[in-house]
Chains A and B, each alone.
Chain A
Amino acid sequence: MNCRSEVLEVSVEGRQVDEAMLALLHTILLHRSTGKFHYKKEGTYSIGTVGTQDVDCDFIDFTLVRVSSDELDRVIRKAVAEFKDALGNSGSDGMGQISLEFYQKKKSRWPFSDECIPWEVWSIKVNVVNLANEQERQICREKVGEKLGEKVINIVEVINRHEYLPKMPTQSEVYNVFDTSLKDVQPYLYKITYQITDSLGTSVSTTMRRLIKDTLAL
């Protein structure tokens, strides 16, 4: 099975990074979260209810819709804050990428650890721009709002292709498919990673790959 990979690109001002990332990540997670499963004796299960919340952005003319789960929101905000700090500290031209990867765990025999097999990866490439004056910032507010709207439409388009989704698991397998750690909702197993592109325009991982290739070629 091939992992589905989608790339979204946005250009934002420094103070818009948090909200732009939250908007896109929450939109994806809204579609990739279900209510909590409650398994019954006969192997059937019922699903809890997912609530939603509108959140107005402060620095962008945009309102995002997220799953009503403060726990999940905290986790995502923490990841986005780390990404933003890394972007700020890198001394680069402000380019980076944050990835949201959905995966399944596959049990392996001892001594091998469980495999994590991604089935969908969303990569959000960010380009941070600096603006000179308030007028430009105001225009940026609106433009970025429109861009995020287009990205939401892109996300929805991909989701609604109804391509591969992990099969609904039995009770013993649920931990291999869903993140059951939250008390109110149940997203598919996911992880968030990020890369910062250095000022040469190459990402750190690309540089590493090149080094390894060069070493092997010798």
Chain B
Amino acid sequence: MDSDLSSQDRKDLDKFIKFFALKTVQIIVQARLGEKISTCSSSSPTGSDWFNLAIKDIPEVTHESKKALAGQLPGIGRSMCVEISLKTSEGDSMELETWCLEMNEKCDKDIKVSYTVYNRLSLLLKSLLAITRVTPAYKLSRKQGHDYVILYRIYFGDVQLTGLGEGFQSVRVGVVGTPIGTITLSCAYRTNLALMSSRQFERTGPIMGIIIDHFVERPFTNMAHMHPCSYRTPGEDEGGTYAGIEDSQEVCTTSFSTSPPSQVMPSLSGEMHSDVLCMCGTQVTTTSLDLPFAAFTPRANDLEVNDPMVHPPPSPAPSSPLQGSLHSNSSSHSGGQPQDDFVMVDFKPAFSKDDLLPMDLGTFYREFQNPPQLASLSIDVSAQSMAEDLDSLPEKLAIYEKNIDEFDAFVDTLQ
């Protein structure tokens, strides 16, 4: 089959396919960051812009792509897929779409590799830029923040579409024939978003009042950006079909926030995957670090106890997890925080440290908050019953009669 292709052409073609795959992933992931993308045109070619398109390379994404490819190229029977999913603050997740870069056996022997194939691949990337803004996940990704984040996972091998729910739609981005097969790029996307009307995922105020009261336990202790993709253990209800790709399965799940990565790193345990980038532009990840009294929040060791990266939780709920979790407040990953309307808060005043002062400042404050009871209203007197009062009345009257002169003199002074 390849005998007609010169070795130089074959080398070129392999390089084109490799960089095409890398750029495809960059475009898809960048389109789900939640922000508008803008790159500049340049009339003078730098030689480093593949396919004559200005597509930035996010290093972590390139790293993950290369890891997924593991030195192989997408080919016949070896598809490269980028799965986009949504993870709510309660820990439920849902696959939204799967982008597939596949190759079939239909060859175009006559096509010029270095010219036609290259230009058509460039055209296909432009189409991908346009289509990524059109599928339903785009709008969801632009609104990600407090309630949910968007994650990606790259895998190589057989295409998995079972997680997209019933009635998923497919859109073909395009095809490019090559002498070794036809490259096709397509997207399968979930349509059953009925549980996720856009109202539910508009930006609302923080769920737990974390900005108002700094001493509420952080609600997103188990946030998705801390979880590697292998958290989704095989054998879960989505068909358990990971066997074919376990060996090359993407290990890192990242979500994206606008804060630079360095802000996110310090407070989390050392188990954090080095590739985690948080770029979903809200206070979810930054708030916890911007807390003025961050030192008084549960320490990192405590987090580790709850951190599923270190202690993986049991398999998550079956393929429609949102059905239960959106309407009930229970969560298998709750950090112990009751999710009622009213939040029970332990009053821990600022600057208080138990081990330094003999009396807790809080106790002091509570004790001396109100003025002391008047002696005349002391408990002894008030505890007397009505019957006892009546009994003692004649005695009291007798005393007052004896001192009647004193009382008269007092009244005279008043007049």
Residue B348 lies at the interface, judged by CB distance under 8 Å to chain A = no
**B residues 352-398 touching A (CB-CB < 8 Å):** none
Asked if A51 contacts B129 (CB within 8 A), the reply is: no
Q: In this complex, what residue of B is CB-closest to A151?
A: B134
Residue A53 lies at the interface, judged by CB distance under 8 Å to chain B = yes
Q: In this complex, what residue of B is CB-closest to A165?
A: B119
Contact with B along A57-89 (1 / 0, CB 8 A): 000010111011100000000000000000000
Main secondary structure of the interface of B (DSSP, over half): mixed
Chain A interface, number of residues (Cβ within 8 angstroms): 38
Residue B231 lies at the interface, judged by CB distance under 8 Å to chain A = no
Residue numbers in A under 8 Å from B129 (CB-CB):
30, 52, 65
With A153-B171, A156-B130, A160-B175 known to touch, is A63 a contact of B36 (CB < 8 Å)? yes
With A56-B36, A156-B130, A160-B175 known to touch, is A38 a contact of B44 (CB < 8 Å)? yes
A49 CA to B172 CA, complexed, in Å: 26
Q: In this complex, what residue of A is CB-closest to B173?
A: A156
**B interface residue count range (under 10 / 10 to 19 / 20 to 34 / 35 or more):** 35 or more
Residue B191 lies at the interface, judged by CB distance under 8 Å to chain A = no
A36 CA to B46 CA, complexed, in Å: 12
Which listed residue (A51, A152, A156) contacts B41, Cβ 8 A? Answer: A51
Asked if B52 contacts A49 (CB within 8 A), the reply is: yes
Contact with A along B271-309 (1 / 0, CB 8 A): 000000000000000000000000000000000000000
Which listed residue (B44, B53, B139, B173) contacts A52, Cβ 8 A? Answer: B53
A47 CA to B42 CA, complexed, in Å: 10
Residue numbers in A under 8 Å from B36 (CB-CB):
53-56, 63
Which listed residue (B42, B46, B131) contacts A51, Cβ 8 A? Answer: B42
Asked if B42 contacts A184 (CB within 8 A), the reply is: yes
Number of A-B pairs, beta carbon distance below 8 Å: 114
Which listed residue (A50, A152, A162) contacts B120, Cβ 8 A? Answer: A162
Residue A135 lies at the interface, judged by CB distance under 8 Å to chain B = no
Interface centre among A30, A54, A61, A64 (most CB of B within 10 A): A54
A53 CA to B127 CA, complexed, in Å: 14
Which listed residue (A49, A156, A162) contacts B53, Cβ 8 A? Answer: A49
Q: How far is the CB of B193 from chain A (nearest CB, A)?
A: 13
Residue numbers in B under 8 Å from A64 (CB-CB):
133
Contact with A along B164-177 (1 / 0, CB 8 A): 00000001111110
Q: In this complex, what residue of B is CB-closest to A31?
A: B126
A186 CA to B321 CA, complexed, in Å: 49
Q: In this complex, what residue of A is CB-closest to B53?
A: A50
Which listed residue (B39, B40, B174) contacts A160, Cβ 8 A? Answer: B174
Residue numbers in A under 8 Å from B173 (CB-CB):
156, 160
A56 CA to B36 CA, complexed, in Å: 8
Q: In this complex, what residue of B is CB-closest to A156?
A: B127
Which listed residue (B45, B123, B172) contacts A47, Cβ 8 A? Answer: B45
Asked if A49 contacts B133 (CB within 8 A), the reply is: no
A52 CA to B37 CA, complexed, in Å: 8
Q: In this complex, what residue of B is CB-closest to A68?
A: B41
Which listed residue (A51, A54, A149) contacts B40, Cβ 8 A? Answer: A51
Residue numbers in A under 8 Å from B47 (CB-CB):
46
What are 13 residue pairs bridging A and B, where the CB atoms are less than 8 Å apart in the complex? A27-B130, A34-B52, A46-B47, A49-B52, A51-B42, A53-B39, A54-B133, A61-B139, A69-B41, A152-B131, A153-B131, A159-B174, A184-B42
Give the top 6 A-B pairs by smallest Cβ distance, nearest first: A160-B174, A51-B39, A54-B36, A51-B54, A149-B134, A36-B43
4 further A-B contacts with Cβ under 8 Å, apart from A51-B40, A52-B39, A149-B134, are: A36-B43, A38-B44, A52-B54, A68-B40
